[in-house]
Structure 1
């Protein structure tokens, strides 16, 4: 009996022992880059909503006036006359620095809805609110003046601080002959890296929706990053992914439960919110990722945090499994960080989508470049985009030029390398919504190149089998 037990013990110990080195396959070590978060100015301390939003515009103009004055002198000469609106003289060629305001008849207004709700039928939903009757106005601290001339009012949005050159005519309007923006701020030189390292960008995971294909693609994405997918070549490539950045809308819009919120509480007391199950699923997916690679998680429009910008990081208590790992970084929206000396800056896409509604620009990439040229992340806040009523400083003004500037939840993946007047180089990326496109992208920290990675599912015509196509 004892001999049998000892034999079983010996056999069990041999099964539990570490395999011989010759039985193991190749091991690919993931090289982790240096990481420095730079989003402190997007963190809110004491929150007070008693202030007026006019302070934001005054602070924005005060901070950006020296920048626009310098750009105006570079473009139109050091001796150009720079006037305030109260000092304008009819017919005098001069430059004015001010904030744009676009008067739009189609812009939604809660006051208009309340006053006209008994007289008008509900209007169909619009994707654009521009019209030919829109007026473009420039404001400073004291006055405002209507603009005409060589400026495309359809591409302009409220809240943009610009410098205009021209003259006031007898009709009281200012005829614009030229204008300029603050353009890109100064940029810190990017270090030369000896090997390829990649940051994976993904957004719009849409957890909580009923689409099985998106969950299959998402799990394959996780398996690819963690090295559990493909042959040794794929695993070697996965080891070069040094960080994962999830840019908002981790949860689906369907988890908002708007219909349930309109019911009496006694009817919904035992009903579990759709976001609870989605967060649990997100925690399980993050657990797989953070055990292998550092992950930055940004909130988005449909995620459980404050709605107004800047959105604060998701609370760690929602992630009991993955928050144990130090590799999980819960970040704010907007997001800013230095990864191996490469400065990343981006949002979950609310600022770009809002500008798309109130301008003629349709391309998310064009809008992204426009905000960079304006040197402001969210010019339409607080007019049509919700934001915190900042009092002393506008944190959305760009003080340092990023190397990678992205926005999430875009309809498609686009990238473009642009250059600034002082030699700055910025890679612009619109990160597609993963739940609808099954796409993410890899950014090479050494070359600043953007590489798409796709997980597309398609069904065979003759049977019920499906196949997953992975390409990058």
Structure 2
């Protein structure tokens, strides 16, 4: 069996500033006086590293659903969304096209008049899945083929308000737009009854509260897509390495002192694997399922053990995801504490909703487990998760495609997914790759956009420096002796 080694790599930082940015790899620089090759110190001489504590306040009350009723129509959430967004878009339109620009409703349109309209986009798509696909097996119809994207050349863009709707043409990217986006358009209605768009604008970034000035480096670890319950042993080895690194059981004294600066861990959904969802169990005869156990039971027990190790050392936020045992519609409610008998006794365990928002030492975090980004990717021409994150931030809406193609609770008076305050860190989980970007708004806002990759497939997590808003990946990979490459275990950051 090949020996196991540890290697450290330093990636390039995506944030360019005038001064040198301190990364997590700099904090974990090895101490020459105490390395893994030195004689171990006695218990008396062994240093004790105290973990940095942070001020924390959850801000996800608007994503909490109290009494649940699904008897209302979904038209109410569109009406509430347009009512909340119209003053913002009207102000933005006057800033862009002048204070004397005519802002009309669709019922007041006059043919040939140059004006501005604020409304909700609707994208008519022939390839969009329908209920016919679900009943095709019952009636022996030909099912629709599975597609990665549902856009086509025949798609049509329609703008609607409370009373009417009108088809759009002109200078607007039809493929990039998605249903549910509230925008302002400028142009004129032609004789054929269509509105020719000359320009359009979004609400852009909301106002932002300045973040606190920190004097020392403190890190928040972002992880998603643990995929527990799958048959991938390499994923479990990398996950245990991650836990050991955070809890200070990995590396020499220099790396342990660096790990003590990780002040919080945030798990962003899909903690269980998709293989734990047995969709056929509900339709199988009872005698075939007798004395059987759901695959999610063992996976939840394993998750509880991992959370117990983490919560004993560092505060942890746990968000549910698409494959996790909670409600399907957004906002997903927190896990029930009875699922975690071992870790729920620790006050450091915070069971959060999806989306999740919190203030961590004056830095506002906001993000989802990735359902909103993946849904926009399917119904638009955008492929980059980072580009979609930026687009939703400029739309001032977390999930514009809800409730059209994304499951959503039928809110009545207010749309909780509208962004009223700009976050400092805006993240999305379960992305195919890691990516980050520092976005600057028109009024001086600074937002760190982060896409957190599937840990089960990439063995990669993200570290955010609260002092500088720098972000870097940290990877754990294990190779067997049968691989063509050199057999070693890597902890790279």
TM more than 0.5: yes
Pick from 43, 46, 51 the counterpart of residue 72 of structure 2.
51
Q: Tell me the alpha carbon deviations over residues 185-230 of structure 1, each in whole angstroms, 9 at most, x when there is no partner.
A: 0000011100000000000000000000000000000000000000
User: In the alignment, what sits opposite 1:183?
Assistant: 204
Pick from 441, 449, 466 the counterpart of residue 470 of structure 2.
449
User: In the alignment, what sits opposite 1:470?
Assistant: 491
Partners of 2:281 and 2:136 lie apart in 1 by 28
Q: How do 1:310-321 and structure 2 match up within 5 A?
A: 310-321=331-342
Shift of 1:450: 0.3
Partners of 1:461 and 1:109 lie apart in 2 by 47
Partners of 2:174 and 2:483 lie apart in 1 by 54
Secondary structure, in 3 states, of the residue corresponding to 2:344? helix
Shift of 1:130: 0.3
Shift of 1:257: 1.1
Secondary structure, in 3 states, of the residue corresponding to 1:102? strand
Partners of 2:102 and 2:484 lie apart in 1 by 75
Say whether the 8 Å CA contact 2:136–2:142 is kept in structure 1: no
Shift of 1:21: 8.7
Shift of 1:116: 9.9
Q: Greater Rg, structure 1 or structure 2? A: 1
Shift of 1:111: 4.3
Partners of 1:77 and 1:245 lie apart in 2 by 44
Structure 1 unpaired stretches of 5+: 1-19
- Over 3 Å counting, the alpha-carbon distance change for 1:445 and 1:96 in structure 2 is same
Partners of 2:289 and 2:345 lie apart in 1 by 33
Shift of 1:286: 0.3
Shift of 1:66: 0.2
User: In the alignment, what sits opposite 2:328?
Assistant: 307
Higher relative CO (CA 8 A, sep ≥ 6), structure 1 or 2?
Answer: 2
Moved more, 366-375 or 115-124: 115-124
1:429 aligns with 2:455: no
Partners of 1:353 and 1:92 lie apart in 2 by 39
Pick from 282, 295, 298 the counterpart of residue 277 of structure 1.
298
Q: How do 1:304-453 and structure 2 match up within 5 A?
A: 304-453=325-474
Partners of 1:274 and 1:114 lie apart in 2 by 28
User: In the alignment, what sits opposite 1:85?
Assistant: 106
Structure 2 unpaired stretches of 5+: 1-40
User: In the alignment, what sits opposite 2:182?
Assistant: 161
Shift of 1:112: 6.5
Pick from 236, 241, 247 the counterpart of residue 226 of structure 1.
247
1:30 aligns with 2:51: yes
Partners of 1:463 and 1:92 lie apart in 2 by 69
Partners of 1:362 and 1:417 lie apart in 2 by 19
- Over 3 Å counting, the alpha-carbon distance change for 1:294 and 1:153 in structure 2 is same
Partners of 2:257 and 2:454 lie apart in 1 by 27
Moved more, 117-126 or 79-88: 117-126
Give the TM-score normalised by the residue count of structure 2: 0.90
User: In the alignment, what sits opposite 1:94?
Assistant: 115
Shift of 1:27: 1.1
Partners of 1:464 and 1:364 lie apart in 2 by 31
Q: Tell me the alpha carbon deviations over residues 248-286 of structure 1, each in whole angstroms, 9 at most, x when there is no partner.
A: 000000000123333112321311000000000000000
Shift of 1:438: 0.1
Partners of 2:485 and 2:378 lie apart in 1 by 41
- Over 3 Å counting, the alpha-carbon distance change for 1:214 and 1:54 in structure 2 is same
Partners of 2:445 and 2:406 lie apart in 1 by 29
Partners of 2:143 and 2:110 lie apart in 1 by 46
Moved more, 424-433 or 114-123: 114-123
Partners of 2:321 and 2:172 lie apart in 1 by 33
Give the TM-score normalised by the residue count of structure 1: 0.94
User: In the alignment, what sits opposite 1:70?
Assistant: 91
Secondary structure, in 3 states, of the residue corresponding to 1:355? helix
- Over 3 Å counting, the alpha-carbon distance change for 1:117 and 1:138 in structure 2 is farther
User: In the alignment, what sits opposite 1:15?
Assistant: none
Q: Tell me the alpha carbon deviations over residues 40-67 of structure 1, each in whole angstroms, 9 at most, x when there is no partner.
A: 0100111110000000000000000000
Partners of 1:113 and 1:304 lie apart in 2 by 23
User: In the alignment, what sits opposite 2:311?
Assistant: 290
Secondary structure, in 3 states, of the residue corresponding to 1:459? coil
Shift of 1:123: 2.9
> RMSD over aligned Cα, in angstroms?
1.7
Shift of 1:115: 7.7
Secondary structure, in 3 states, of the residue corresponding to 1:23? coil
Instruction: Indicate the structure with greater helix content.
Output: 1
User: In the alignment, what sits opposite 1:5?
Assistant: none
Secondary structure, in 3 states, of the residue corresponding to 1:91? coil
